[in-house]
């Protein structure tokens, strides 16, 4: 165990998931404060890279502040921002019908996109609590008329304090089934997210490690981008579930707390 922790701590850049790694809902996980203090004092570069598209970086920063942690807004990057970058590269100044919350809406506005529920270029779905039949019906008909279907992330579910909550892939499924069209997902494990993270950190892939709680997004994204991966068992994946996948993370720990005990 000591050798594993030493190897992890030798990395220069840390790409860290949030849900299931840093917190569950509004409950901070053990060891997180000590770990972030170590990152700062050691001069490590780190980025919170989350598939959650609900919140803006500012809102994520404020959430951590409410949990007793103060870090700069530039330490956060979301699948909503990645989605906006992707769409802006595909069709600059386009339009979209959005099923999502403030983080996704703000990200698309920031790259010059407008909201359009008549003839949009894209239908974009992200994590949201504002999910209803009317919005799904509208999305289905817009896709049938030619709008391209985009998911901010491919997560089926995410951890909360008292269990799990449906995520984007589950929310977008009715649109795919009703239209016969498959969505393109931008968040992890899309390599686009990892390229952006490495660029923001200013480190080489050999110098970085991905820390996450999901085999299908965090670990896969790291593996496909040739980064070392650390799976923590404090979120959506337990030890038994690891064997359901044809690949493995480089390291496995119970949680962030194992790095600072």
Identify the burial level of 200 via C-beta atoms within 10 angstroms of its C-beta, where 0-12 means exposed, 13-18 middle and 19 or more buried.
middle
On the question of pLDDT at 2 being above 90, the answer is no
Same-domain check for residues 163 and 195: no
258 is catalytic: no
For range 23-46, the mean pLDDT: 95
Range of the domain at 230: 2-51+188-259
* Pick from 1-10, 94-103, 136-145: least confident: 1-10
pTM: 0.92
The residue from 19, 213, 218, 228 that is catalytic is: 19
C-alpha distances (whole Å) from 142 to each of 89, 118, 151, 239 are 22, 7, 15, 42
Same-domain check for residues 88 and 178: yes
Structural domain count of the chain: 2
17 is catalytic: yes
The residue from 17, 101, 121, 155 that is catalytic is: 17
User: Which of 161, 185, 209 is the last residue before a domain boundary?
Assistant: 185
Torsion of CA 215, 182, 79, 138, to 10 degrees: -140
Residues 104-127 pLDDT 10s:
999 999 999 999 999 999 999 999
Q: How many Å is the Cα radius of gyration of the chain? A: 18
Residue 247 confidence class, pLDDT cut points 50, 70, 90: very high
User: Which of 151, 185, 219 is the last residue before a domain boundary?
Assistant: 185
Which domain CATH number covers 212?
3.40.50.1000
Residue 171 confidence class, pLDDT cut points 50, 70, 90: very high
On the question of pLDDT at 54 being above 90, the answer is yes
Residues 177-195 pLDDT 10s:
999 999 999 999 999 999 9
Same-domain check for residues 145 and 104: yes
User: Which of 126, 154, 185 is the last residue before a domain boundary?
Assistant: 185
């Amino acid at each position: 165990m000591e050798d594993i922790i030493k190897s992890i701590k030798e990395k220069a850049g840390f790409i860290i998931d949030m849900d299931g790694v840093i917190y569950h809902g509004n409950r901070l996980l053990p060891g997180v404060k000590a770990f972030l203090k170590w990152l700062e004092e050691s001069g490590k570069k780190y980025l919170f890279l989350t598939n959650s598209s609900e919140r803006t970086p500012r809102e994520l920063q404020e959430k951590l502040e409410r949990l007793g942690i103060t870090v700069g807004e530039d330490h956060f990057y979301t699948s909503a921002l990645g989605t906006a970058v992707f769409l802006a590269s595909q069709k600059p100044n386009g339009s979209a019908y959005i099923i999502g919350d403030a983080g996704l809406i703000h990200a698309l506005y920031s790259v010059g996109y407008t909201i359009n529920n008549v003839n949009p270029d894209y239908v974009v779905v992200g994590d949201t609590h504002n999910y209803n039949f009317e919005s799904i019906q509208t999305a289905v008909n817009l896709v049938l008329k030619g709008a391209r279907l985009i998911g901010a992330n491919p997560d089926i579910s995410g951890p909360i304090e008292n269990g799990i909550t449906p995520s984007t892939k589950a929310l977008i499924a009715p649109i795919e089934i009703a239209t016969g069209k498959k969505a393109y997902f931008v968040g992890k494990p899309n390599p686009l997210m990892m390229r952006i993270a490495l660029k923001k950190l200013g480190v080489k892939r050999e110098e970085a490690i991905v820390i996450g709680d999901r085999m299908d997004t965090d670990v896969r994204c790291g593996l496909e981008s040739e980064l070392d991966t650390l799976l923590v068992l404090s979120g959506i994946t337990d030890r038994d579930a690891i064997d359901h996948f044809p690949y493995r993370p480089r390291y496995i720990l119970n949680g962030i707390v194992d790095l600072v005990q």
